[in-house]
Amino acid sequence: MSCVLATGAFLKNVAGLSVDGRFTASAMHGDLGTPEACVALEASVSALLDGVHGRVDAVAHDLHPDFHSTRLALALAAELGVPAIGVQHHAAHVAAVMAEHGLDAPVIGLALDGFGLGDDGGAWGGEVLLLDGARHRRVARLLPLAL
């Protein structure tokens, strides 16, 4: 059995559990900028873990180290003795579309969802990504905007 828990990102947060390729999503917790949303995420993650008796193979999280969802994932992975897997935000969007449509061949995807911490540690926001299995590569991007 393959079982991966995902803790989601910061905005419009949703946790999820993939068991042998079948995905179960939690309710949407909203943005994790409030204590209430963080508590709701923790409760959802606990409920998902209860459904598999706390047995997961890995915990996936956003690359951004300051998100509550990332800190929760790292703590859970350490507690459970399983790997914590950082996932680039925009690659996760493209992978979700692939999963929704049952695609497993390499794809080129366009993610225009705003900020996501990039593999290089920089601010990404507007990527053309090549996804091949669990690997991704940024093949083009929008020019960064001055903030």
Which residue blocks in the chain are alpha helix, DSSP H? 35-51, 68-80, 89-100
Q: Are 108 and 130 in contact (CB under 8 A)?
A: yes
Q: What pLDDT shows up at residue 146?
A: 74
Average pLDDT, the chain: 94
Q: Is the pLDDT of residue 45 over 90?
A: yes
Q: What pLDDT shows up at residue 89?
A: 94
Is domain 3-87 given the CATH code 3.40.1180.10 in the classification? Answer: no
Q: What pLDDT shows up at residue 113?
A: 83
Span(s) in the chain for CATH 3.30.420.360: 3-87
Summarised one tens digit per residue, pLDDT across range 66-78 is 999 999 999 999 9
Task: Return the structure tokens found at 36.
Answer: 């209430």
CATH number corresponding to 89-141: 3.30.420.560
Summarised one tens digit per residue, pLDDT across range 91-147 is 999 999 998 899 999 999 999 987 889 999 998 989 999 999 889 999 999 987 776
What does the DSSP 8-state code read for residue 128?
E
